[in-house]
Amino acid sequence: MKIDSHHHFWKYSAEEYPWISDSMAALRRDFLPAHLKAEIAAVGIDGVVSVQARQTVGETEWLLSLADGNDFIKGVVGWLPLADAGANEVIAKFAKNPKLRAVRHVVQDEPDDRFILGADFNRGVSMLKDFGLVYDILIFERQLAASIEFVDRHPQQVFVLDHIAKPRIGDGAIEPWKANIRELARRKNVFCKVSGMVTEADWKTWSEEQLRPYFDTVLEAFGPKRLMFGTDWPVCLAASGYSRWVEVVREFVAGLSADEQEWLFGKTAVMAYGLT
């Protein structure tokens, strides 16, 4: 299967999605399975992983209901209250649904750059492996050092790093992101999504040449068997159409073997998330 490992759905309202600013006006509408199905059909993608966009149990329930009704949604990365005292019971309840493959918290928005090391949060994360659930790491590059410490606390947990840790592509800055990515990639229980790159660059003037050093870094660090393709649709629409991003990544991997390309475009996501 060819898999888009990272996208979102929503029914838009200004109250529920305050982060969609005026500069993202194109995102101020509904994005639902029928819209995405047309996009993936046009570029030969077979299935997708739907990722939380709001930190509510209600949204996780909604995403799972969409997955139950749409075969092309192969898995869900939901939000659950990992830091709550009753986290184990909540995780156990949701883990009964086989489409829930991972949990994510929007760590990038936490005011404390070391939030990811909090005791209550880590207690919740430590429970995920018992239910066969992955944890998706959503951070800015400045939070990478703390995230390496976090991963080291959970050597048996499978992690997926979203959006190559959001380096400062628009500023042309590659260090210390590059050194930290290489260090994180030494942990074999960490996978990485090739996604979210265009929205870290200048939305109007980004180029493949500008993005290439960042892609080459994660390819060298993780290798194709621990990289997975994702679009971050519809967020990517602020800077790139769906098919355009697919074309860019296909160009980036053109020099890889057919088997290596199959890993990046699907087999890695199937293995890491346990998709069927």
State the total domains in the chain.
Answer: 1
Does pTM surpass 0.85?
A: yes
Q: Which of 98, 91, 239 is nearest to 163 (CA)?
A: 239
Residue 107 scores a pLDDT above 90: yes
Distance (Å, rounded) from C-alpha 122 to C-alpha 87? Answer: 11
Segments forming the whole domain that contains residue 202: 3-273
Average pLDDT of the chain to the nearest whole number: 97
- What is the percent of the chain with per-residue pLDDT over 70, rounded to a whole number? 100
Residue 19 scores a pLDDT above 90: no
Per-residue pLDDT tens over the stretch 121-135: 999 999 999 999 999
Distances (CA, A) of 112 to 18, 107, 195: 20, 9, 24
Per-residue pLDDT tens over the stretch 180-230: 999 999 999 999 999 999 999 999 999 999 999 999 999 999 999 999 999
Q: Going edge to edge, which strands form the sheet with 73-78? A: 3-7, 47-51, 73-78, 100-105, 134-137, 159-161, 190-194, 227-229
CATH number of the domain bearing residue 55: 3.20.20.140
Distance (Å, rounded) from C-alpha 85 to C-alpha 69? Answer: 32
Per-residue pLDDT tens over the stretch 37-76: 999 999 999 999 999 999 999 999 999 999 999 999 999 9
Compute, in degrees rounded to 10, the torsion defined by CA atoms 18, 67, 48, 72. Answer: -140
pLDDT on residue 54: 94
Distances (CA, A) of 273 to 103, 108, 176, 214, 226: 11, 22, 29, 24, 12
